[in-house]
């Protein structure tokens, strides 16, 4: 989002081994430290972080048959492009997502009917409490509905590398997402050339301002700022909201709630100091229009949250990770 204050120290380990050494070093001397990847889902307060930031930039990559092992710091979309060029399919629907490989199991990253957990084979995880690095299988990750994982909102574990099991094929996995199937002119459950799926996904994401572009302020965001709320029951005021079955209850689309509470795409340019607004392309992204501070973003997010709650009796919560800031 191009906001947030300074850091005390910045380390950028260029290999997984170097990252492990730094993690153990800072754990031993009890220095406060924050581990991050690309920062695509991170909002940091204006005071910054007065400690050590370990930014994972290691980019090792190994392809062995249908197994692809990538270091946590490798750019995610580079991995997608590379696997497709190597004749491997399975990641095409996840094209264009900003961030790094290490974040994919943390968020159980998903888009257009595909999830990281669908193709995850194993991963190397460092335990900050024990100082031990272990190889994990997916069953230890705690994946569940609503993009849950054992890593989310917890600082105990750090992902060092990830191994995906893909398919030696130029054909995509079955298309599950209606808009993507329509863009490809195939039925839901049908397949297409994996390269065509990638291009269709990128086209859809660009229209929604979800492919990073330094010139487009709609992409100065963390993507979906708010979670889709999951409730035991729908409040009467929200009776007209579309609903979806979820393993923990009923899921409501946050974008619908925001838009129908009076906050249309582009809302915010005339609110506050005009530095923060919803994306002009969809209502779920809170964007920095230039010159915003974290304080500006928090005030705007609270304004949206409170407006939705007043209208529908549903309280939204952040999807992104907040460090030294809140609303």
Q: What are the distances in angstroms from CA 71 to CA 123, 171, 322?
A: 10, 26, 24
Q: Which of 40, 172, 198, 319 is catalytic?
A: 319
Q: Which of 58, 59, 92, 147 is catalytic?
A: 147
Q: Which of 224, 279, 280, 305 is catalytic?
A: 224
84, HSE (Cβ side, Cα atoms, 13 Å): 21
The dihedral built from the CA positions of residue 288, 289, 291 and 292, taken in this order, carries a sign that is negative
Give 112-119's long-range contacts (Cβ < 8 A, gap of 24+).
112/176, 112/177, 112/179, 112/180, 112/201, 112/204, 113/175, 113/176, 113/177, 113/180, 114/173, 114/176, 115/147, 117/141, 117/143, 118/90, 118/173, 119/90, 119/91, 119/164, 119/165, 119/166
Q: Among this protein's residues, is 147 annotated catalytic?
A: yes
CB 89 within 8 Å of CB 167: yes
Q: How much of the chain is helix, strand and coil, in % rounded to 5? A: 30, 25, 45
Active site residues: 147, 224, 319
């Amino acid at each position: 989002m191009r906001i947030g204050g300074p850091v005390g120290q910045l380390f950028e380990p260029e290999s997984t081994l170097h990252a492990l050494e730094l993690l153990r070093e800072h754990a031993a001397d009890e220095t406060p430290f924050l581990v991050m990847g690309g920062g695509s889902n991170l909002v940091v307060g204006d005071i910054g972080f007065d400690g050590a930031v370990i930014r994972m930039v290691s980019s090792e990559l190994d392809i062995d048959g249908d197994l692809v092992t990538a270091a946590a710091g490798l750019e995610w979309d580079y991995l997608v492009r590379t696997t497709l060029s190597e004749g491997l399919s399975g990641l095409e629907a996840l094209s264009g997502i900003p961030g790094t490989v290490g974040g994919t199991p943390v968020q159980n990253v998903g888009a257009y009917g595909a999830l990281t957990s669908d193709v995850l084979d194993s991963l190397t995880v460092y335990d900050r409490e024990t100082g031990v690095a272990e190889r994990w299988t997916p069953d230890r990750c705690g994946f569940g509905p609503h993009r849950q994982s054992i890593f989310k909102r917890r600082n105990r574990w750090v992902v060092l590398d990830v191994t995906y099991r893909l398919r030696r094929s130029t054909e995509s996995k079955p298309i599950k997402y209606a808009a993507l199937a329509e863009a490809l002119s195939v039925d839901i459950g049908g397949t297409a050339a994996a390269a065509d799926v990638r291009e269709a996904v990128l086209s859809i994401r660009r229209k929604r301002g979800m492919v990073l572009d330094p010139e487009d302020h709609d992409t100065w965001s963390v993507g979906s700022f708010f979670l889709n709320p999951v409730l035991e029951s729908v409040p009467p005021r929200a009776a007209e909201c579309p609903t979806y079955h979820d393993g923990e209850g009923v899921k409501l689309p946050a974008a619908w709630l925001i838009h129908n509470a009076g906050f249309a795409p582009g809302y915010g340019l005339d609110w506050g100091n005009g530095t923060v607004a919803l994306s002009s392309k969809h209502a779920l992204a809170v964007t920095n229009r230039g010159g915003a501070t974290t304080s500006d973003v928090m005030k705007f997010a609270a304004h949206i949250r409170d407006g939705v709650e007043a209208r529908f009796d549903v309280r939204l919560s952040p999807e992104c990770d907040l460090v030294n800031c809140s609303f």
